[in-house]
Amino acid sequence: MAAKTGTGRGTGVAGRAKQPSIAQLRAFAAVAEHLHFRDAAAAIGMSQPALSGAVSALEEALGVRLLERTTRKVLLSPAGERLAVRAKDVLDAVGELLEEAAAVRAPFTGTLRLGVIPTVAPYLLPAVLRLTHDAYPELDLQVHEEQTASLLDGLAAGRLDLLLIAVPLGVPGVTELPLFDEDFVLVAPRGHALGGREGISRDVLRELDLLLLDEGHCLRDQALDVCRDAGREEGPVSMTAAGLPTLVQLVAGGLGVTLLPRTAVDVETARDGRLVTGRFAAPAPSRRVALAMRAGAARSAEYAALAAALRSSLTALPVRLLDAPA
């Protein structure tokens, strides 16, 4: 038997042929509110004949009678009473959609999901939070502290929008916006021969008992790179820590020395008077910190502006600020 293709209220193509327009819904909602064609037309800036025609067209599209018209007044039919509520909901939703689109078009509004590595977060976030609070009050900044691999996965999956991270990453599809370079500082227990020294040769790293962060931290990999550059042979690490506060406590306890980025030194060494520092000879081993975003991100211009503003806000930090990429 052939399929039935009636023109009634079915679910086929014919049943979906007539769709109510926003203008029709707005006209009906105005009439439902004012119960008067002239007042409704004035409220939405439409002529009375156009308003009447829009409501009639809506009734035809829906296949129901919405109004009961008399010479003196306008009343909602039972169907009109029910559908007036739905029409208002649709118009409210459309209004919210337009407001959201306007917010998206406006820079530094809406939500920004920022991923930060643990060896940067405690030392740079105060500056980042002050900047966003003062300069971008309409921006909803959400901060996620994770290790590098997890942050890159989140960026690729769209879970995160922007990363504050050590570079270079060498990851296809990720654009880096460099912020600054910072030196590594040798941190040792009080009484160590290198404490307070300036111009230390990297060669000393060949023999020192070096304490590192756990695997997965980019700072660990950077420290190992520095050691390899100094000619240290790779071997097992005797002791590791999950975070910098624990790492410096191991150093304070006399178990070895470590390397800290310059931005972390004042915060971490101030917690324990048993720590001393030493500075390497120029060029000192260093790391680069940048913002990272998906290549071709819709908000790339906004992120570049944020990077420029952030560079300007970091002048008090012991770092070498970098120019914006050409």
pLDDT band at 110 (very low <50, low <70, confident <90, very high): confident
- Which residues, listed in sequence order, are joined to residue 184 by a DSSP beta bridge? 261
Burial category of 101 from C-beta neighbours within 10 Å (exposed 0-12, middle 13-18, buried 19 and up) = exposed
Among 278, 282, 272, 283, CA closest to 194: 278
Distance separating alpha carbons of residues 131 and 137, to the nearest angstrom: 9
pLDDT, tens digit, 9 for 90 and up, residues 118-155 = 999 999 999 999 999 999 998 999 999 999 999 999 99
State the DSSP code for 281: P
Pairing label, strands 286-294, 162-167: antiparallel
Whether residue 114 has pLDDT greater than 90: yes
| Residues 64 and 121 reside in one and the same domain | no
From 105, 123, 151, give the residue that closes a domain. 105
Mean pLDDT for all residues in the chain: 87
Output the pLDDT for position 237: 58
Whether residue 11 has pLDDT greater than 70: no
**CATH (domain of 152):** 3.40.190.10
Output the pLDDT for position 17: 55
Cα distances from 38 to residues 45, 50, 51, 91, in angstroms, run 10, 11, 9, 21
Number of compact structural domains in the chain: 3
pLDDT, tens digit, 9 for 90 and up, residues 18-70 = 789 999 999 999 999 999 899 999 999 999 999 999 999 999 999 999 998 87
| Residues 191 and 279 reside in one and the same domain | yes
Note the pTM of the prediction, 2 decimals: 0.69
Cα distances from 224 to residues 106, 215, 220, in angstroms, run 44, 11, 6
271 vs 178, more confident:
178
| Residues 185 and 266 reside in one and the same domain | yes
Output the pLDDT for position 24: 94
| Residues 95 and 237 reside in one and the same domain | no
| Residues 148 and 220 reside in one and the same domain | no
Query: Is the backbone of residue 274 left (phi > 0), alpha (psi -120 to 50) or beta?
Result: alpha
State the DSSP code for 73: -
| Residues 124 and 160 reside in one and the same domain | yes
Amino acid at 105: R
Amino acid at 166: A
Token readout for 42 is: 């004035």
Residue 88 lies in a domain: yes
Among 186, 183, 200, 317, CA closest to 248: 186
Cβ(120)–Cβ(289) under 8 Å? yes
Cβ(311)–Cβ(179) under 8 Å? yes
Output the pLDDT for position 29: 94
| Residues 224 and 213 reside in one and the same domain | yes
| Residues 86 and 154 reside in one and the same domain | no
Domain range for residue 48? 18-105
Distance separating alpha carbons of residues 88 and 96, to the nearest angstrom: 12
Dihedral sign from CA coordinates of 33, 37, 38, 43: positive
